Each structure stands twice: as C-alpha cells, then as structure tokens.
C-alpha cells in the first residue's frame, strides 16, 4: 500500500466536480453567486487590486460558495425526510438560508470597501 494513490485522488476529484455540476444545475442561487464571483475576479484584474485585497476577495468568494454548498446539503437532507417532514425541516432550511445571506452580505460589504476607492479614482 502506497502513501498516495493517484487513481483514488483523481477519482475523488471527479466526484467533487460531479457534485459541483449537480449544484450548478439545480441551485439558481449558486449559479448567481458563481456569476458574481466571476465579475469580482474580473474587477480584481481590471483594477489591479493589491495582493492582500485579492486574498481577502478570494477568501470571501470561497466563503460564500462554501456556505451555499453547505446550505444545499442541508436542504437535500431535509427534503429526504419526505413525506414525513419533521417539524424542524423547514426551520433548518430557513436558518441555513440565513447563514448564506449573512455570508453574502459580509462579502458585499467587504467587496464595496475594497472596490469603492478604485471606482472613485475613475471619476476623480
């Protein structure tokens, strides 16, 4: 048995991409967040933001996308309880949506704090 099995690793990567593809197909909010993420990355290059700012923006993008993925997992798990829905299933879904909302709002605020000075330079 070797320390690192490349076939297993490649298989794991394939499963991960299948999961992401599935979420992209079924979750509108995830697609929207990916689109916003691409826009932010384009703006990062267009404004040539500092490395520190780039790191913060990339971390915030990852944070929101991961929160949305976790939210999707919780939604699927709650949906599995059908037809005998537990009284907390809807509450769990709502709480997880709130988690995503808070992460998205925090990311928006941080993004505005970083990008507003760059936009101001365009018009001054």
Q: Is residue 2 part of a domain?
A: no
The total domain count for the chain is 1
The continuous run of DSSP H or E covering 7 comes out as helix 6-26
Q: Is residue 1 part of a domain?
A: no
- Calculate the CA dihedral of residues 31, 119, 102, 20 and round it to 10 degrees: 20
Q: What pLDDT is attached to residue 71?
A: 95
Using H for helix, E for strand and C for coil, what is the string for the chain?
A: CCCCCHHHHHHHHHHHHHHHHHHHHHCHHHHHHHHHHHHHHHHHHHHCCCHHHHHHHHHHHHHHHHHHHHHHHHHHHHHHCCCCCCCCHHHHHHHHHHHHHHHHHHHHHHHHHHHHHHHHHHHC
Q: Is residue 116 part of a domain?
A: yes
Quick check: 34 pLDDT over 80?
yes
Q: What pLDDT is attached to residue 49?
A: 97
Q: Is residue 82 part of a domain?
A: yes
Q: Is residue 26 part of a domain?
A: yes
Q: Is residue 106 part of a domain?
A: yes
| Domain harbouring 101, CATH code | 1.10.287.3610
Domain hosting residue 41, numbered range: 7-123
pTM, whole model, 2 decimals? 0.88
Q: What pLDDT is attached to residue 42?
A: 98
């Amino acid at each position: 048995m070797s320390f690192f099995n490349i076939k297993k690793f490649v298989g794991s990567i394939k499963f991960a991409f299948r999961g992401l593809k599935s979420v992209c197909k079924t979750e509108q909010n995830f697609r929207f967040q990916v689109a916003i993420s691409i826009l932010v990355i384009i703006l990062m290059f267009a404004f040539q933001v500092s490395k520190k700012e780039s790191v913060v923006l990339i971390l915030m993008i990852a944070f929101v996308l991961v929160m949305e993925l976790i939210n999707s997992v919780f939604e699927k798990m709650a949906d599995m309880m059908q037809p005998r829905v537990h009284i907390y299933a809807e509450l769990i879904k709502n709480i997880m949506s709130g988690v995503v909302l808070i992460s998205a709002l925090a990311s928006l605020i941080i993004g505005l704090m970083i990008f507003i000075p760059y936009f101001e330079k365009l018009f001054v």
